[in-house]
Amino acid sequence: MSSSNAGQSAGQLETRGIEPVPEAECNGHPLQLFWVWFAANISILGLPLGATLVAFRGLAIWQAIIVAIIGAAGSFAVVGIISIAGRRGRAPSLTLSRAIFGVRGNIGPTLVSLMSRLGWETVNTTTAAFVLLSLCSILFGSPVEAKSAPVLTLIFIAIFVLLTLSVSGLGHATLLVIQKWATYVFGALNILVGGFLCATIDWSAVFNATPAPMSAMIIGIGTMAAGTGIGWANAGADMSRYQHRSVKAVRLVASAAFGAGIPLVLLITLGGLLSVGNNDLASATDPIVAIRDMLPTWMAVPYLITAFGGLLLSNNLSVYSAGLTTLTLGLKVKRVYAVVVDIVAIFAGSIYFMLIADSFYGPFITFISLLAVPITAWVGIFVVDLIHRHYYSPKDLLDVSPSSAYWYRGGIEWRAFGAWSIAIVLGFSFTTIGTTAENVWFKGFLSDSWLGHNGLGWIVTFVVAGGIYFVLGGAKDRRAAQTENAHA
């Protein structure tokens, strides 16, 4: 099976790192990206997202659907917008970001993006290992817990990370093929499991539910966006860099919005339906077990296989992107070895959280949720810059010395970096972070304002970052502008 780049096909090792892709090798089309984003979001863990909308926000199901469309599909439209930069610059998102923040100024956004990516990969890996432990519990007829079976736990973590490495390590062409065909398999299993879950829905309660106020919908949109598209925004250009020059921008946006939006809207809606009159799923500390308990016993095995597959498809793309981000930080190794470094990090993290730490999901997801604020600020600046930047200098993207057109002043584009920093401070001012209402880690001094109370700190962050950057004149340093004008 051929890939989108000349000379490589599925099963062959992608040898390119962060260097821009030659035009002759850019033969990709938007349908490939549609399947990539669909596969990355087919995880059955989308159900708890919908459950929180109904159980905790009190939304009627029609409101939950609207929130899912705007929050999830809408936020992935932003991922599609960033994909346009990949088609223009032929390099990964955070490598292109050097043109905006400067060679040294880009280290901050890159480090935050890598921490977020590794964090969610650790969540995927530990959850997948718990899924395999649940399968063993069914096989042995008694509960199998991580700390009581450490060797088995290590084996299951290793299985998941090795499966991830086999796809992410090989690279772009293999990823395109695996994500597409695996979507058919696990998509069918999701439909099968979803059908049985529908039998547990209290339809009379669904049709009699009282709508929530508009403020609850606004909060829900913010929650869905932060939990879906915003977290993937920094990976937008990583896959689109192989797209053909003739591909229209609107098709790149549509491939992400519809590719991720279709499975997410369906899963979020189903999660909302399941939670009408039943808060068990929304409040569960282990959503995998909570969903399994809703199914007939004989459906537990196909359900757990479905959950494992969805987590794996998401991890494939995430680890591939993390490898490119690691190279952008300056690690001087081949791309496949950067992937191995990331795999080792999530393997070690999963061991710690499964076998040593007393708790995991609440504190850890809270920590990586904190990173959504600086990532959102980066997105705002990146999108504003994209409006006027149609060319990225391949040579200068890779040049990390003062001779680079993207060196600016001391290696930092201070307008971009300053806008990013100010937006982060203001964004946290509107934010409350904690594992529970009683265990609050951080509470911004504006968190009780209307914007803060309605969970719109991320909107403030996005608007302020992009707005300040726009007012200050954008990222075009004189030398960078001369380089681009000379190319044109």
Q: How far apart are CA 325 and CA 378, in angstroms?
A: 14
Give the mean model confidence (pLDDT) for residues 424-443.
79
pLDDT reported for residue 485: 47
pLDDT at residue number 143: 81
Q: pLDDT per residue over 98-124, tens digit each? A: 999 999 999 999 999 999 899 889 989
Secondary structure class of 400 (helix, strand, coil): coil
pLDDT tens digits along 12-50: 899 999 999 999 999 999 999 999 999 999 987 788 888
How far apart (Å, rounded) are the C-alpha atoms in residues 22 and 266? 38
The per-residue pLDDT for 361 is 58
Residue 482: the pLDDT is 46
CB 265 within 8 A of CB 72: yes
Task: Indicate whether 2 pLDDT > 60.
Answer: no
Predicted pLDDT of residue 488? 47
Q: How far apart are CA 236 and CA 253, in angstroms?
A: 10
Strands 432-434 and 440-443 come out as antiparallel
The mean predicted confidence, pLDDT, of the chain is 88
Quote the Cα angle for 433-438-439, to 5°: 50
- The band of 65, judged by pLDDT with boundaries at 50, 70 and 90, is very high
Decide if pLDDT at 415 tops 50: yes
More confident residue, 434 or 194: 194
Neighbours of 485 (CB within 10 A): 9
What per-residue confidence (pLDDT) applies to 436? 61
Q: What is the pLDDT of residue 123?
A: 87
- What does the alpha-carbon distance between residue 5 and residue 24 come to, in Å, rounded to a whole number? 8
- Which of 218-222, 342-346, 360-364 shows the lowest mean pLDDT across its residues? 360-364
Check pLDDT > 80 for residue 244.
yes
- Residues 390-412 have a mean pLDDT of 95
**What distance in Å separates the CA atoms of residue 166 and residue 187, rounded to the nearest whole number?**
21
- Supply the pLDDT for residue 12: 87
Contacts for 345 with CB less than 8 Å, ≥ 6 apart: 118
Look-up of token digits 């990516």: 117
Q: Which residue has the tokens 């043109």?
A: 99
3-state SS, residue 295? coil
What's the average model confidence in pLDDT over 174-200? Answer: 91
Average pLDDT over residues 450-475: 85
Q: What is the pLDDT of residue 289?
A: 79
451: how many CB neighbours lie within 10 A of its CB?
A: 15
pLDDT-wise least confident of 4-13, 83-92, 312-321: 4-13
Candidate from 279-288, 296-305, 370-379 with smallest mean pLDDT: 279-288
Band of the pLDDT at 442, cuts 50, 70, 90?
Answer: confident
The answer to whether residue 163 scores a pLDDT higher than 90 is yes
Torsional sign, CA 446, 283, 55, 261? positive
Going by pLDDT thresholds of 50, 70 and 90, the confidence category of residue 346 is: very high
Q: Could you tell me the two tokens for 263?
A: 């499975």
- What average pLDDT does this structure show over 74-91? 96
